Amino acid sequence: MSTQVENPTPAFPFTGFHAPVHNAPAVNSVNAGRSIPVKFSLGGDKGLDVLADGSPSSRQTACDGTATDPVDTGAVSTSGLTYDAATDTYTYVWKTDRAWAGTCRTFHLELSDGTDHVAHFQFR
C-alpha cells in the first residue's frame, strides 16, 4: 500500500506587497512611530477574515547594513484591515512605535491559509 502526500496549494494567490512597501529582500526605511499602509492582493475579495490569529506581527531583527528603500507613509490615520474592490487591494495600517528608532524589524503577515509573508524594515 502506498501513501500519496500532497503539497497543499495556498488558498490565497498572494503575489507580494504593493507600494509603498518593498518586498523582501529589500529593506524598507521608515521613521519610527509612523503608520505604514501594508497593501496586498489575494486575487479578489476573500472577506476580512483572511488573517491568521495574532497576525500581523513584527519581530526585532539585526540591522545588517543592507541598502534601504524609503517608504512614503503619507497621512494614514485609519487602522485595521480593509478591502477596496475597485483596486482589488487589502490594506492593513501598521502603527509603528517611536521606541523602534535605530532598530530593524521583520513584519509578518500570516494568512489564514497558513502562509507567512514578510517585509523588512529599518527604523530611523
For residue 77, what pLDDT is reported? Answer: 44
Do 72 and 28 meet the contact criterion of CB atoms below 8 Å apart? no
Q: How far, in Å, CA of 94 to CA of 51, rounded?
A: 14
Helix, strand, or coil (residue 98) = helix
pLDDT digits (tens, 9 = 90+) for 17-26: 999 999 999 9
Q: How far, in Å, CA of 53 to CA of 116, rounded?
A: 12
pLDDT digits (tens, 9 = 90+) for 37-84: 999 999 999 999 999 999 999 999 998 766 566 666 554 444 589 999
- pTM listed for this prediction: 0.83
Residue whose cell numbers read 524609503 = 70
pLDDT digits (tens, 9 = 90+) for 87-122: 999 999 999 999 999 999 999 999 999 999 999 999
